Amino acid sequence: MSPPEPTPHRAAPWRAWTLALLLLTGCGLGGLESSLYDPPPAPPDASTPAAPLTRCVPNAVRCITSAWYERCDPTGEIVESDACGWDEVCAEGASPDAPACLPLEVRCGAGQALRLVPDRIAFKDVQTLKATRRTTLLTSCGPDTLIVESVEVLGRPAFNLDEPLDLPPEGLTLRPGVVLPVRVNYQPSPYTHSEEGELRVIGALQPQRGPRERVELRVPLSGRAPGVLPTPLLTPTPLDFGFVPIGQRQAREVVLRNRSDLPLYVEWVQEDRALDPRGALQADFPATFALDPQEELAVPVTFAPAEVGPAELRYRIWAKPWPLDAPWPEVILRGTGVEVSSCDLAPIPQWTVAPDTTLRPMQDVVLDAAPSYAQRPDAAVTAYQPALNQRPQGSTAALTPSPDGAPRWRSTLDLAGTYFFGLDVSDSAGLASCQPQVVRVDVAPRGDLHVELTWVTPGDRNPDDEGPGAGADLDLALAREPLSDDPSIPHEPWIQDPNRCAWDNPEPDWGTLRYGPDDCRVLRADNDGAGPEIITLEQSEGRRYTVLVDAQDDAGYGPSLARVQIYLRGELRYASTARRLEPGQRWEVALVTPWASLIEELDRVTPAP
């Protein structure tokens, strides 16, 4: 990148270049090699200015050289590019109200031979893995000449000098009043978000008479990059085995998933057996392992109780990269040992399912465990252990207990697919059911066209939370192909296109007016997590429909990975691969002709109109 032409109002810009060359000739800013750290990189070609590291910090100044600067607006775009005056030096990071250039003559305190301003450099809230620069000014205060023998940075690789400093063997001579700008880079490490280092300047004062006096200045460096770092997803959390008779052994799995864009390295799994001293619970973790982005690891776990009562085991996972101020992830295993009994006396779990075991998407199912009973005459069922054992990928279905305390649970089955619900019980005699009762509920769309959208946002540590800003917002839409003889569609004035069915136009009156079956319906919309969003069309018309996904807002969590499934007359006919979407993008998924049972994949990502 060539320095921009100076604006006419700057006096004698050649003097700024002359001063910069005098200061920097033979003294790029790279530091000296230390045996404690990696050797410095090879110096760049000095004939061309260094390329900018990143876009500028919004409302701040970025220095191209010690004499040239760029100022950025609130969006990080460059709005001004100019040169400092002959008696000035660029001030990296200056705010909108502060000058972009500082005077070279920095006042020294009484008795000071040299001075560094500022005397502490802090890189705060740096965007994760993006390099940032800061400048400190080394002033020779006088009256003696300063000989700079070395300038080095400790704390590599996070910190380093921005330009190579090739000092002559006899050192760099700074006469009284001369200022040397020293620029430090901070490159956040992917393995932590907080780092410390030190800028160290070593030299000597050369009086007119007498020996040299050694001097040393140290500038603390600190960096902090609060960007999103990997967070595994533990499924389920915690894992509860429920009631298991003493002497029996049950086996399940815990799934760890790396939800970030960086590889995750697990170096140690710490076991806390305070509530399980006899080792009834076990998990077969590898000694060390790595998870690539979006990769999953299934860990076998078992529960084999040797005594009556509850047990709990916690595994703390020591992984990197991991934020220093975030708790380490944990795998929590639980289970309750109960008396050994003959199945002839064990209580019997029983569900009743209403309204049916075959439902449509977004219907509620009610599971009632009241019919469960104890086989011993002197006992009664006292505890229930319900579980949603299986659901389609991307579903948010969960069991919600009855508010009146009755042994009854409700669940909204959102996505098409198969759901399995299990039930274990125990009675007042301490006996547990020998086998859980498992019921299967199938969910299938019945209309001509049914579309489902789910997504994963790797940067969102808690995709299940709700509320404003709790997660990324992706919108599913179905656009009807307009025909020349279409009658006018009634719609609210804020709806720009009545042929587009989405969250803001959830039930457009398509086809025959005031006839519901041919109207598009948004069954579910979600703006704070991972979906799903669902659109259905019971009776299609003799035209084509375009399936669209708009990435509205990432809530600061970064890009999302979206998937779409399309059903025609209840049959899954199209399942997309994961598509990476950033805010402001539109994904044209497919062109569907239901009456001909045709799906044409488009898979185009463009800026949203």
All domains of the chain, ordered by start, with CATH?
13-224 (2.60.40.10), 232-338 (2.60.40.10), 352-443 (2.60.40.10), 449-607 (2.60.60)
Given this model, what pLDDT does residue 1 score?
Answer: 40
Which pLDDT score is estimated for 323?
61
Provide φ and ψ at 284, rounded to 5°: -95, 70
Task: Provide the pLDDT for residue 11.
Answer: 35
Provide the 3-class DSSP secondary structure of residue 518: helix
Burial of 14 (0-12, 13-18, 19+ CB in 10 A): exposed
Element (H, E) at 585: strand 585-593
Per-residue pLDDT at 78 = 80
What's the pLDDT at 32?
Answer: 24
Neighbours of 229 (CB within 10 A): 25
Tell me, what's the pLDDT at 23?
36
Which regions of the chain are under pLDDT 50? 1-54, 106, 228
Tokens standing for 456? Answer: 């994963």
Q: What is the pLDDT of residue 44?
A: 36
CA–CA dist 529, 467 (Å, integer):
9
Confidence (pLDDT) at 287 = 87
What tokens does 581 get? 């979407």
pLDDT of residue 539: 93
Residue with tokens 């001030």: 91
Max CA-CA distance within the chain? 109
- Residue at token pair 């307009």: 482
How many Å apart are CA 234 and CA 292, to the nearest integer?
16
Task: Quote the CA–CA distance of 524 and 503 in Å, as a whole number.
Answer: 8
Contact 598, 557 (CB under 8 A): no
Half-sphere exposure at residue 365, Cβ-oriented, CA atoms within 13 angstroms: 26
